[in-house]
Amino acid sequence: MSRVHVTTTVNGDETEFLCDPRETLLDCLRDRLNLTGAKEGCGTGDCGACSVTLDGRLVCSCLVLGVEAEGREIGTIEGVAQGDELHPLQRKFIEHAALQCGICTPGILVAAKALLEKSPDPTEEEVRYWLAGNLCRCTGYDKIIRAVMDTAAEMREAV
């Protein structure tokens, strides 16, 4: 099958790739652009390990086709830190030990960042429901929720 040329912006950088029209955005990020931070846990949009933003909107990249990235802006875990400056969420996840194996961590960080951008003062319940699409099998979510709440508090103080 002939490949399609796609021009897109990933973490602020203009990027091009060729892909099979059947390939998902997740496949393209991982296999074409070597951005392996987004993970495939299910391929059906149930686990959220592949979470990225598409024009600022949180999506499962396994449910988006690579060709749909044409002309769009994509944000991945690799773009969450600014240079050597970690995003507060990243810092707090380490501090709170909000990860064990770490496979769900990139997706959860991308999702949590999207939450805090739209809702800087979420309740615990809001955080739990927002992250309900991101499965974690190791932690029982306790330390993840605490890390997100603590980050939100710190970011509000910084404003």
Partner 1 sequence: MALDDSKREFRFVGTRPDRPDGLDKVTGRARFGADMNAAGMLHGAILRSPHAHARIVRIDTSKAEALADVKAVVTRADFAEVPFKPGLAGEVWNVLENVMAGDKALYDGHAVAAVAATSALAARDALKLIEVEYEELPYVTDVNAAMRQDAPVIREGAADFSVPDDMHPNVVRRHESGHGDVEAGFAEADLVIEDSFETEATHQGYIEPHACLGQLGKDGKGELWCCTQGHWIVQKTCAALLGIETANLRVTASEIGGGFGGKTTVFIEPVALALSRKANRPVKIVMSRAEVFRATGPTASASMDIKVGMKKDGTITAAQGEFRLQGGAFPGAPGDMTAMCAFAPYDLKNVHQVGYDVMTNRPKQAAYRAPGSPMAAFAVESVVDELCRKLDLDPIEVRLKNAAREGTKASYGPRFERIGLVETLEAAKAHPHYAAPLKPGQGRGISCGFWFNHGGETSVSLALSEDGSVQLMVGTPDIGGSRASMALMAAEVLGIPYENIRVTIADTASLGYNDVSHGSRVTYASGLATIKAAKDAVRKLSQRAAAKWGIPEDAVKWEDGCAVPSGPNAGDFDPLPLAEITAEMGQTGGPISGHFEATPEGAGVSFATHIVDAEVDRETGATKVVRYTVIQDAGKAIHPTYVEGQFQGGAAQGIGWALNEEYIYGEDGRLQNAGFLDYRIPVASDLPMIDTVIVEVPNPGHPFGVRGVGETSICPPLAAIANAVSAAAGVRMRHLPMSPPRTLAALKARDA
Contact residues: partner 1, CB under 8 A: 20, 22-23, 27, 30-31, 35-44, 46-47, 49, 76-78, 80-81, 86, 89-90, 93-97, 99-106, 109, 125, 127-129, 131-146
Edge-to-edge strands of the sheet including 51-54?
13-19, 4-10, 73-75, 51-54, 57-60
Q: Whose Cβ is closer to partner 1: residue 54's or residue 138's? A: 138
**Looking at beta carbons only, is 69 or 104 nearer to partner 1?**
104
Spatial separation of the C-alpha atoms in residues 60 and 154, rounded to whole Å: 28
Largest CA distance in the chain: 54
Q: Find tokens 């961590």 and name the residue.
A: 105
CB nearer partner 1, residue 54 or residue 135 = 135
Give least dist CB 140 to partner 1, A. Answer: 3
C-alpha gyration radius of the chain: 16
Nearer of residues 71 and 142 to partner 1, judged by Cβ: 142
Q: Which amino acid is at 34?
A: N
Shortest CB 74 distance to partner 1, Å: 14
